[in-house]
Structures are given as structure tokens and as C-alpha cells.
Amino acid sequence: MTSNDKIIEIEVLRYRPEQDEKPFLQSFKVPFTDDQSVLQGVQYIKDYLDGSLSFRWSCRMAICGSCGMMINGVPKLSCKTFLREYYPGKITLEALKHFPIEKDLIIDLSDFINKLESIKPYIIPAAPRTLEQGEYLQTPRQLDRIAQFSSCINCMLCYAACPQYGLKPDYLGPAAITLLHRYNEDNRDAAKAERMQLLNAHEGVWGCTLVGYCSDVCPKDVDPAAAINRNKLNSTMDYFLRFVAPRGGN
């Protein structure tokens, strides 16, 4: 800390389940320079002001998706958000909305992980290839169909943004549907019919009311709202075509 440093007030929502009845806000004065992220701000708090503050982080460069939190009420990656954007105002940090708090800024993400597993986010080929047959081929055009949706880093900001997930925790949600779409549209994959059953449910694609905030908050410029709406069309085709096509139009 040098004498040139500016001081910003950071309020953090604290919750230590073994000693607190409910979450409360604790304020810290943090010196910073213009190149420091909000993540570096909370790291300063942990290193110099209160070592008991807990939060998740890893890569510091918007790749791992660990450090998502509510920053002044907006879900953001704290490594990709800078303290200078809020100075001279104060910053309020809270755990991601719509998830149970495990401790301080750490949420219990098991609901999301279960949903992610349920959509089988991996390529399931019609017939596995042997080593001799070589790799699964894909043209640049086939890659284009899925490239944008494959950038998801599972940071869950879209779940914190989605009012429908807040109202209906059973809703499959933006990131899981986006990744489901990414694998369904992959030319090397053959498990579409199986995944469609998840989409067709009320808790699937029909849980969405097209608010669109998921796409606003995505730090990787993925467009979950587009993936969801394309699949409303897919699910509608599946709904009606199952009466004329023997295998549900797939």
C-alpha cells in the first residue's frame, strides 16, 4: 500500500453457519489501484483485514468460472470486474442469488451440478470408433453450429440472473439447456432423442418465460436465451411430429 492508493468501501455479506443465525453485512475499507479487480479486493480483505472471509476463486482470468458473486446486485465474475468502476461509491458483495449459502460468498452448487450431469454434457456417438478408425470428423460449418454455445464455463451467473430459476428451483435453467443444445447440435453426437425428454418437460425448456437476463450477464458472451428459444421450437416440433413420425420427429 502506497500513499497514492485510493480507499474504497467494500460491504460483504457474511454468513458463518456455525455461529450466525442469518447473513449480515460487514464493511471493509480497502486500498486499491486502478488495475485491481473486485477479486483482488476480497483477497486483500482476507490477507490483511479478516482471514475468516471465504470465497471461491482460481484462475483470475474469466476461464474457471469460480468467482461469480452478486456485485451491487448484479451477477458478475469478480475477476473480470474492476474496483475503479465503482469508486468513489461503495461496493456490496453477496453470494450468488437463488443458491443456498454454504459460507460467506460460497454457494452450494450441487443443484446445478446435478442438472449439468442430467443433460449428459459429452458426445455420445451412435457407434464408438476404434483407434484404427481415427478421430470423429467435423467440418468448420458443423463446428459453427455449436461453437458459441460451447464457450460456457459453468459459472452459474445466468442462474443467479434468471427470475424463473428463483421461482421454480426445478427448472433446468439457462446453462444446462445451453450445453444440452451444444451436444444435441453436434454432428458427432447421437443422443438427441434421450436429451429431448428433459427439454420437453415443464421443468425443461418450458420453464423459460424469455426474460433474457441470462444472456446479458454471461461473461463469455454465450447466448443462453437463444439456445432456449431454439429448443422451444425443437420441442414444439417434437410435440406435434410424434403423431406423424414414428420416432418423435428426431
Question: Which residue number, 58 or 118, has a Cβ lying nearer to another protein?
Answer: 118
- The verdict on 170 binding another protein (CB under 8 A) reads yes
Query: Which residue do the cell numbers 418465460 mark?
Result: 209
CB of 197 to another protein, least distance (A): 5
Question: Which residue number, 92 or 235, has a Cβ lying nearer to another protein?
Answer: 235
Which listed residue (174, 204, 219, 224) binds another protein by CB under 8 A? 204
Which listed residue (23, 74, 151, 206) binds another protein by CB under 8 A? 206
Q: Is 152 left (phi over 0), alpha (psi -120 to 50) or beta?
A: beta
Q: CA 186, 192, 193: angle at the middle one, nearest 5? A: 165
CA dihedral 117, 123, 127, 129 (to 10 degrees): -130
CB of 240 to another protein, least distance (A): 7
- The verdict on 203 binding another protein (CB under 8 A) reads yes
Question: How many CB atoms neighbour CB 55 within 10 A?
Answer: 20
Question: How many CB atoms neighbour CB 167 within 10 A?
Answer: 11
Question: Which residue number, 85 or 117, has a Cβ lying nearer to another protein?
Answer: 117
Question: Which residue number, 125 or 163, has a Cβ lying nearer to another protein?
Answer: 163
- The verdict on 173 binding another protein (CB under 8 A) reads no
Q: Which of residues 114-153 bind another protein (CB under 8 A)?
A: 118
Listed in sequence order, the residues at least 6 apart from 195 whose beta carbon sits closer than 8 Å to its beta carbon are 119, 120, 180, 183, 184
The grid coordinates listed for 31 are: 486500498
Question: Which residues bind to another protein, rule: CB under 8 A?
Answer: 118, 163-164, 167, 170, 197-198, 200-204, 206, 209-211, 232-233, 235-236, 239-240
